[in-house]
Amino acid sequence: MDRASSDAATTVIFRTPLGPRLISLFAVAALAATGALTTALAVVLLVNRQWVLGALVVAPMACFIAGLTGYVWRDLRGKWGLRVSMTERSLILDLPGGRSLIHRPPERHVEIPYAEIAAIEARLEAYGSLGLEMMQRAYVLHRRNGELIFLCEDRAIATPYAGAPFAPVAAAIAERADVPLRDLGMVEGRGGFLGVWGARAADWAATPLTLAQQLRIWRAVAITGALPIPVIVIAMLLRGLLSG
């Protein structure tokens, strides 16, 4: 259904809270500035023929920061552009492509009558990287025609850094559409390197993990969540260097 047919009076029930949006904005600005300075330093070193330091140390560092900046920029776009609205008869979704850091959902702007919604589905997704484990909860809208629309994800589940802003929204959509909010259990995806490069989610139809597998992962998540963020980052970097 074309969004132009939407009712004039809508009630916005969700946008990413301002705090996380501002944090992402600051992170992008800080990384971009750091990347620019590192790139400039690499150029200066290479011009002065300091090949080892410039080409083998500073230049790769500049590339790493550039990649990380792009990753955080995608997250910023997702947080600033996400908007879910409800009218009396339909759900209006404005979903940017960057609303997930691991899934690659396309950008969607669509109005869906409640009668076309079959269910809201949620599952836990575990991603291991270099011995550390992170957990998120993903939400998908299941239409009666079989189409699956990825909505959003709550990240860093079961850690002090957890944020679950979408859980009440998913429940509100299910209640308004009078459909079930299905719990699909837990699956395990590929964490790649630092959860940034090479990460891949399991197929939405993947078989849930057994209880023994879930308990093993929860223990790893608890250990990871107990570490301060700088320790986690340093540990990942060191393990990556040593394993390379």
Question: CA–CA distance from 90 to each of 8, 94, 139, 142, 233 (Å)?
Answer: 12, 13, 18, 15, 43
pLDDT digits (tens, 9 = 90+) for 201-239: 999 999 999 999 999 999 888 887 776 555 555 444 444
Tell me the whole-structure pTM to 2 decimals.
0.80
| DSSP, res 157 | T
Looking at residue 1, its pLDDT comes to 39
The whole-number average pLDDT for the span 65-70 is 86
Split at pLDDT 50, 70, 90, the class of 126 is: very high
More reliable by pLDDT, 129 or 4: 129
On whether the CB atoms of residues 118 and 40 are closer than 8 A, the answer is no
